[in-house]
Amino acid sequence: MNPSSSFPELQLPHRAVHRVPSNAAFEIACQEGALWITLDNDPRDIVLEPGQCFTTPTNGQALVYALQPSRLTLTAKAAVSLSRPAHGSSPVRAMPMPCAAQRSAPGMALAR
């Protein structure tokens, strides 16, 4: 699989579930709405809002649940391994990152 291949934009209605392929790491980018991502063998919850991204590991299944009507993109990435949360970080909730296009924007901060 190409290290950075994009898939068409997906529209998920409220409460819809999308299974992310487990054969590669994927960057899930929330364009609109709110997404809840759950990973096999990982106790953390990942919640994405518009402009936020999360990259899945290659060694586990990921499910994306639409907390409200949502729009997202999936981009295949280089391999990412599943690691335990660092000491002192939340074992229950992972913090998403701003999407690549927004990471370089000066003053970009996550809203919470």
Per-residue pLDDT at 101: 52
Report residue 31's pLDDT band, with 50, 70 and 90 as the boundaries.
very high
Cα separation, 9 vs 28, whole angstroms = 10
Whole-number Å distance between alpha carbons of 94 and 86 = 11
* Dihedral angle sign, alpha carbons of residues 14, 16, 17, 21: negative
Q: Which band of pLDDT confidence, cut at 50, 70 and 90, is reported for residue 32?
A: very high
Which tens digit of pLDDT belongs to each residue from 36-93? Answer: 999 998 999 899 999 999 999 888 899 999 999 999 999 988 755 545 444 455 555 5
Question: What is the C-alpha to C-alpha distance for residues 111 and 84, in angstroms, rounded to an integer?
Answer: 25
Q: What is the pLDDT of residue 78?
A: 72
Which among 89, 24, 96 has a CA at the least distance from the CA of 54? 96
